[in-house]
Amino acid sequence: MANDTLIELTQIEKSYRLGRILVRAVDNVSLDIARGELVALAGPSGSGKTTLLNIIGCIDKPDAGRVVIDGADVTPIPLHRLARTRAEVLGFVFQTFNLVPVLTAWENVEFPLLMRGMAKRERDERVRSWLERVGILAQAKQRPDQLSGGQRQRVAIARAMAGEPKLVVADEPTANLDSENAARILDLMTDISTRTGTTFVFATHDPVVIARVQRVVNVRDGRITNIDSALAA
């Protein structure tokens, strides 16, 4: 794997059984993603893009093929043993935000750092820095139900970035946002990638997201149909 390649997928396959029907969600997919790249896995519902994203994010395992992340072959490692990889290498942003409702914005960002056993001084520095960088420090003491959708997604981005991941996987991150907030969130993610070198991989069918990334990987029926490069301005 080349030094500038963060993710390498080779002949990935994944199937699910729905009653008596075997559905092939990912069908012989090979794909490399570079460090610092913004990539969209694009396609309609049921195309396999979210399953592929979950495999990249070590949330799911392929039935066949090889997954290499940051130079490490994670294919043979059981999911329960990939917790450290998820904590140290990956960040996650979801369309439903996935914030803990009883925790404040500060506590939501701090929570994964607590799980890593990070010392309080470093935790406080990380949380304050990222809440400030995403423009939500003034709302640090508010719970998710006291925040707008755009503010909640900013908290989710701060939580994903506080662990200083090399890769952020984002599943439909603009789906529950209006067009103005969606544009602001994409501006923020693009700026973060430029400043930190973090790779972002989106699963999306939102044309606003598709227009802003560097490569669009079009997925249909579990297969890559084509890849459009350098779409971002």
* CA distance linking residue 119 with residue 205, whole number of Å: 40
- Asked if 168 and 200 count as a contact pair (C-beta separation under 8 A), the reply is yes
Q: Where are the domains of the chain?
A: 37-58+76-229
- What is the third-level CATH fold of 37-58+76-229? Rossmann fold (3.40.50)
Burial of 40 (0-12, 13-18, 19+ CB in 10 A): buried
User: For each of the chain's 233 residues, which pLDDT tens digit applies?
Assistant: 456 999 999 999 999 988 888 889 999 999 999 999 999 999 988 899 999 999 999 999 999 999 999 999 999 999 888 888 888 889 999 888 899 999 999 999 999 999 889 999 999 999 999 999 999 999 999 999 999 999 999 999 999 999 999 999 999 988 888 888 889 889 999 999 999 999 999 999 899 899 999 999 999 999 999 988 755 44
pTM to 2 decimals?
Answer: 0.90
Partnered with residue 29 across adjacent β-strands are: 12
